[in-house]
Structure 1
Amino acid sequence: MTQHERLLVAKNKALYFFPSLQTMDVISAKDLMDDSFMSSFQQQLKQYKLIIFLDYGFDVAFASRIRPYTQAKIILFFWNHFKEEHHHLLKKAEAETAIDDIFHFDILEAKELGIKHNSSFYSKDMPLPKAEVTTDLFFGATDNGRKQRADDYRTAFEQLGISTNFYILPSRGNDQEGYLTYTEYLQKTNGSKGILELLREGQSGVTLRTFESIFFNKKLVTDNKAISGYRFYNAQNIFLLGERNLEELPAFLNSPYQTVDREIIEFFDAENWVERFVDFDPEVFSIYEYCGIEAR
């Protein structure tokens, strides 16, 4: 592992774009509870100045486990829309002295919860696999109560002559039948003109689908009504379901993509995201991210 001053702890270091991160180390959370791993990792822990845990798969025991071996600032970053289990985890984390600060990716939800906000993030170093474009819209997701809604939209899309590729898994987890690696998922994404994003009930924060759209210049069709408040929003690139007539969708998908300002792309890149935990400035979010309200 290349030694950096920043460490990201995820449930699985091989998921999503994590292997492409160039400016921080990434490990799997389960390794921290492995005695043999920890015996060889203790010395390295002393070198970190910042350690960020992602909420998925996190247990407060992970933070208390490493605290004796590091002077690093330890952050818990909620990267998911809050459900009951997240509220329970937040209470435990707030009571755990090994955790120095808590942040949430959704600026609106963070304000409701009374915790700090940092944007979600992506990696400009993540390669997009080559693929021939064969469909208009790709939707790849776990069900999470969205399948019926997705099926209804697919019927409406196909009536408009829009070809679709929907890949919906019944549950979350990379051990289920049919699970795609992130590279396989991105290949399917690149095989369509646009990406369909359907949020879970109550969610308003931007998802990976949004970042795949702006980092890879792909059209986005979404039901996230809050997205129009983001600086990167452009009606030429983002079709807001429920706000626009579906009959406009074929022309939207066939029109040119307008490249997002590079400064905004850089704001969401992991290198700059991680620095915001060190030099926290709430003012930057209204400049580059969400302009509807101020972050806490």
Structure 2
Amino acid sequence: MRKYLLVYPNRDYGKLMWRDLKELDNVEFVDKPLSVNNILVDFLFRIHFSFKVNMKIELPLKRFWEKYYSLNHYDFNQEDEYVVLFTDPSLCNYRKRFLEKLKSKSNVNMVLVLINSFYRMRRIVEPMLECFDLIYTYDKRESETFGFSYYPTVYSMINIGKVEIVKHKCFFVGVAKDRLEKLICVYDKLELCGCSPVFYISGVPKRMQKRRKGIVYNTWLPYKLVLKEVLSSEYIVEIMDKNNAGVTLRTLESICYNKKLITDNEKILESPFYRKDFIYLIDSNLAAFNDFFKCINEVNYAYDGRYSPVLFISRLERELNKSVI
């Protein structure tokens, strides 16, 4: 029997996106990197494997944690075949040496799913790529550049109860990165159109913050709160950063929860869900916002569940069966 072990990252969205897999009997979840339940130990581990810190300097002595890894205590039954599934955020909690040890087991396949731009985590992730039998990315451009397999993305819909929709509310959430100037410009245009833009922008130093009524800087929202904002909004705003060229989370939310989308992602025109009445592609002049807001058609993308991770597991099954043959 083939079993799948999904290694969760230390973040709420990273768990919720795979939620549909709980329907499958052959999928187990590694909820935490460590097998110990101790707040102090967990805190030290998070610091030691901090993405931000290790992007600047590789911290030493990480081998210490191997004996505490949940995967190190998992009983790999020799009668079964296992597929250990990592995402790039969860991969950042491990060392290459430990992955090599895991891969050396005769009944284990290793699969990596990149849910962020490879360029963002390249320094940490790239040395470990050779440990994986299959690597998937949501970014078609990166799949062609680095030879990864392409898979649009995975997403599980979540029921968080009834939420009242605020008319003309436009919602954005994300890290500023290289797009702060454009975010401010789009915000100002939306406000001039009589909308109620609410932007949560993080990663902005105080000296670069431009005060606006509806902009909240450097406040982290758990993903369920993000979803409440999405569901209470009429419009979702998406501004791409320079390294992103795939199906984004904001696009998924718009399609799955039937929300109008305002985006500068030209790739949206290739989406099977593109509807000009529901999706506004921002041009260089930010023109025609008013006409888009006047459209009162009921939003319905007729989403068919194609991004469910259950279908991704089906794809993996076919790929793995080919390699056996």
TM-score, structure 1 normalization: 0.78
2:298 is matched with 256
Counterpart contact for 2:261–2:279, Cα < 8 Å:
yes
2:128 to 93, 104, 108: 93
SS of 1:49's partner is strand
1:43 to 69, 75, 80: 75
- Asked if the contact 1:122–1:268 (Cα under 8 Å) also holds between the matched residues in 2, the reply is yes
Tell me which amino acid in the other structure corresponds to 1:259: Y
- Residue 6 (structure 1) aligns with: 4
Q: 1:77 corresponds to which residue? A: 113
CA distance in 1, matches of 2:163, 2:190: 22
Say if 1:66 and 1:45 are closer, same or farther in 2 by CA, change over 3 A.
farther
| 2:189 alignment counterpart | 156
Report the AA paired with residue 19 of structure 2. Answer: S
Which of 247, 253, 257 aligns to 1:216? It is: 257
Worse-superposed segment, 108-117 or 240-249: 240-249
SS at match of 1:212: helix
1:70, CA displacement in angstroms?
6.5
Say if 1:110 and 1:147 are closer, same or farther in 2 by CA, change over 3 A: same
> Which residue of the other structure, out of 268, 272, 277, is the alignment partner of 2:311?
272
| 8 Å CA contact retained: 1:189, 1:195 | yes
- Kindly state the Cα deviation for residue 153 of structure 1 after the two structures are TM-superposed: 0.5
Contact map agreement 1:8 1:27 (CA 8 A) in 2: yes
Structure 1 position 277, deviation (Å): 2.1
> 1:162 Cα shift?
1.5
Q: CA deviation at 1:231?
A: 1.6
**Matched residues in 1 for 2:98 and 2:256: separation?**
32
Question: Given residue 112 of structure 2, which amino acid in structure 1 is its aligned partner?
Answer: L
Q: From the superposition, tell whether residues 238 and 255 of structure 1 become closer, same or farther in structure 2 (CA, over 3 Å).
A: same
Once residues 87 and 180 of structure 1 are traced to their aligned partners in structure 2, the CA distance between those partners, rounded to angstroms, is: 27
CA contact (8 A) 2:86 2:111 kept: yes
Q: Which residue does the alignment assign to 2:159?
A: 127
Q: Say which of 253, 277, 289 aligns to 1:246.
A: 289
- Is residue 176 of structure 2 the alignment partner of residue 143 of structure 1? yes
Contact 2:84 2:108 in 1 (8 A): yes
Match of 2:56 in 1: none
C-alpha contact 2:88 2:112 (8 A) present in aligned 1:
yes
Could you tell me how far apart the structure 2 residues matched to 1:28 and 1:197 are? 30
State whether residues 261 and 278 of structure 2, in contact with CA within 8 Å, keep that contact through their aligned partners in structure 1.
yes
Tell me the matched-pair count: 267
Structure with higher Rg: it is 2
Unmatched 5+ stretches in structure 1: 282-296
In 2, distance between residues paired with 1:236 and 1:167?
26
TM-aligned CA deviation for residue 35 of structure 1: 2.6
Rate the CA distance shift 1:116–1:40 in 2: closer, same or farther, 3 A. closer
Residue 164 of structure 2: SS of its match in structure 1?
A: coil
Residue type of the alignment partner of 1:12: N
**Residue 223 to residue 26, structure 1, CA distance change in 2 (3 Å):** farther
What is the distance in 2 between the residues matched to 1:236 and 1:271?
A: 30
The answer to whether residue 93 in structure 2 is matched with residue 64 in structure 1 is no
Displacement of 1:159 after TM fit? Answer: 0.8
What is the CA-CA distance between 1:142 and the residue it aligns to? 1.6
Give the TM-score normalised by structure 2: 0.72
Is residue 222–residue 240 contact of structure 1 (8 Å, CA) maintained in 2? yes
1:116 aligns with 2:149: yes
Please tell me the root mean square deviation across aligned C-alpha atoms, in Å: 3.0
Counterpart code for 1:180:
L
Matched residue SS, 2:118: coil
Q: 1:44 to 1:217 in 2, by over 3 A?
A: farther
For 2:18 and 2:135, the matched residues in 1 are separated by: 24
**For residues 13 and 246 of structure 1, do their structure 2 counterparts lie closer, same or farther at Cα, with a shift above 3 Å needed?**
closer
> Could you report, residue by residue, the CA deviation over 1:100-137 in whole angstroms, capped at 9, with x for unpaired residues?
1222111232112222112211013x224432222521
User: Residue 177 and residue 227 in structure 1: after superposition, are their counterparts in 2 closer, same or farther (change >3 A)?
Assistant: closer
